[in-house]
Homo-oligomer: A and B are copies of this chain.
Amino acid sequence: MSWSKQDRKRRGYHHGNLREALVAAALDLIDAKGPAGFTFADAARAAGVSPAAPYRHFRDREALLADVARRGFEKFADQLDRAWNNGQPGPMQALENLGRAYLAFAENEPAYYAAMFEAQLPRDIDRELSEAGDRAFAVLRQAAEALCATLPKDRRPPTLMVSLHIWALSHGIASLFARGDAARRALPMAPQDLLEAGVLIYLDGLGLTGEHNR
């Protein structure tokens, strides 16, 4: 928490970066108590500011949460995109990197992850929020496309379906076993290995064997 009361004198009357500080405080509080476990007043306190101050930046608590979720999806999309790396060095290897990035995000950013997927935000609360979510899914879709393209046309499955399968498997493993918070279930193996094995078996089932694509 870099915006403690001590800093206030240095900062003077104006905070300077309250919007960012409130988001950071929300993330800390979500980490500690879950997405439902903090209040607008909590966030203000953590940012070292009066309870009325947040209203200058967010309509209400839900708007703050939605902003956290939006930022989460943007970070998520970035990390997935970087991991996919335009399908380099090859679609299979790139897909493995993508899967690892999915799980790593759930593990390293449980607060974002919870805000994105479990804060029970109405789906249509914010256009920017749903667009950021779409951007993250688009990376998966792109990966499925590249993988399907390596199959001869007559044996090519629907790309959308493949991307949804990969998404669901990743999401299931992340939510059950890889998340970095209290809801994580124990597992006698690394979640990354579980996901990788599952994807390999699935791709085998599609007729995409490792030899052709590694």
| Chain A residues engaging chain B, CB cutoff 8 angstroms | 34-37, 114, 117-118, 120-123, 157, 160-161, 164-165, 167-173, 175-177, 181-185, 187-189, 194, 197-198, 200-206
Question: Shortest CB–CB separation between residue A114 and chain B, in angstroms?
Answer: 8
With A168-B198, A171-B176, A201-B165 known as contacts, the answer to whether A182 contacts B118 (CB < 8 A) is no
Tell me, in angstroms, the Cα distance from A189 to B163 when the chains sit together.
Answer: 13
With A120-B182, A169-B169, A172-B175 known as contacts, the answer to whether A201 contacts B198 (CB < 8 A) is no
Q: Are A185 and B34 in contact (CB under 8 A)?
A: no
Q: Are B123 and A183 in contact (CB under 8 A)?
A: yes
Question: Shortest CB–CB separation between residue A54 and chain B, in angstroms?
Answer: 20
With A161-B194, A161-B197, A188-B160 known as contacts, the answer to whether A173 contacts B182 (CB < 8 A) is no
Residues of the B chain whose Cβ atoms lie less than 8 Å from the Cβ of A37: 36, 120
New contact pairs (14) apart from A118-B118, A120-B183, A171-B175, CB-CB < 8 Å: A34-B36, A36-B120, A123-B182, A160-B188, A161-B189, A161-B194, A161-B197, A168-B198, A170-B172, A171-B172, A172-B172, A175-B175, A200-B205, A204-B204
Tell me, in angstroms, the Cα distance from A202 to B157 when the chains sit together.
Answer: 14
Interface centre among A120, A157, A181, A206 (most CB of B within 10 A): A120
A–B complex contacts, Cβ < 8 Å, 21 sampled: A35-B36, A36-B36, A114-B120, A123-B182, A123-B183, A123-B185, A161-B189, A161-B194, A164-B173, A164-B177, A165-B197, A165-B198, A167-B176, A168-B198, A169-B198, A170-B172, A175-B175, A201-B202, A201-B205, A202-B202, A205-B206
Residue on B nearest A202 in the bound complex, by CB: B202
Question: Shortest CB–CB separation between residue A191 and chain B, in angstroms?
Answer: 9
Q: Are B164 and A194 in contact (CB under 8 A)?
A: yes
Residue on B nearest A181 in the bound complex, by CB: B120
